Amino acid sequence: MTTKTFLAALTGAAFIAGAATAQDNPQVGGADMFADRTIVENAVNSPIHTTLVAAVQQAGLVDTLNGEGPFTVFAPTDEAFGMLSEDSLNALMMDENQEQLAQILTCHVVATNAMSDAIAGMIADDGGMHPVPTVGGCTLQAEMSGDTITLTDENGRSATVTIADVQQSNGVIHVIDRVLLPAGQAG
């Protein structure tokens, strides 16, 4: 299935389920996000997550992120993916690098439903920094910068949560402004 076919199928499914409401969820990229839809169903409607959606498909993670969860996804925007070199991003999207891409993406996923107030509480309880083990085997360090959550990967790359608490039927998305990488990988 091509990316365009995949996106068209999910977009069609989202419109069929159009009776759902955004239920006080923040908009992402100007698009409504629906708490009764999965992470993938909402991501497909976000105009600022097209690269992430294509990467999730390429990595073979669609079924996982459409699954029951719960998941917390720190979702890098298209602009965040644009901070990677074009050569690196193109190489990651090649079939032979599917496993590496899957690891990078799952380093943005936590196997729980963690809203921002819970994350902030864990940061405070841990004296200002809280380790966040991910599904991909990475450990991110969560900190507060004023009222904003920041995450630092194992390479010292930091991302800021720009939109928090986008509820999904199978978890929550927090939009971030940088792609986080496993130890030893450079972008």
Which pLDDT belongs to residue 24?
A: 81
Phi-psi region of 22 (alpha: psi -120 to 50; beta: other; left: phi over 0): alpha
Which pLDDT belongs to residue 58?
A: 96
Quote the CA–CA distance of 117 and 161 in Å, as a whole number: 13
Which pLDDT belongs to residue 186?
A: 64
Which pLDDT belongs to residue 9?
A: 40
Q: What is the pTM of this model?
A: 0.86
Quote the CA–CA distance of 174 and 163 in Å, as a whole number: 6
Quote the CA–CA distance of 122 and 84 in Å, as a whole number: 30
Which pLDDT belongs to residue 184?
A: 74
Quote the CA–CA distance of 85 and 103 in Å, as a whole number: 18
Give, for all 187 residues of the chain, the pLDDT tens digit. 443 433 344 334 333 344 344 558 899 999 999 999 999 999 999 999 999 999 999 999 999 999 999 999 999 999 999 999 999 999 999 999 999 999 999 999 999 999 999 999 999 999 999 999 999 999 999 999 999 999 999 999 999 999 999 999 999 999 999 999 998 776 5
Which pLDDT belongs to residue 73?
A: 97
Query: The tokens 């891409």 sit on which residue?
Result: 101
Which pLDDT belongs to residue 112?
A: 96
Quote the CA–CA distance of 2 and 181 in Å, as a whole number: 26
The structural domains of the chain, ordered by start, are: 3-176 (2.30.180.10)
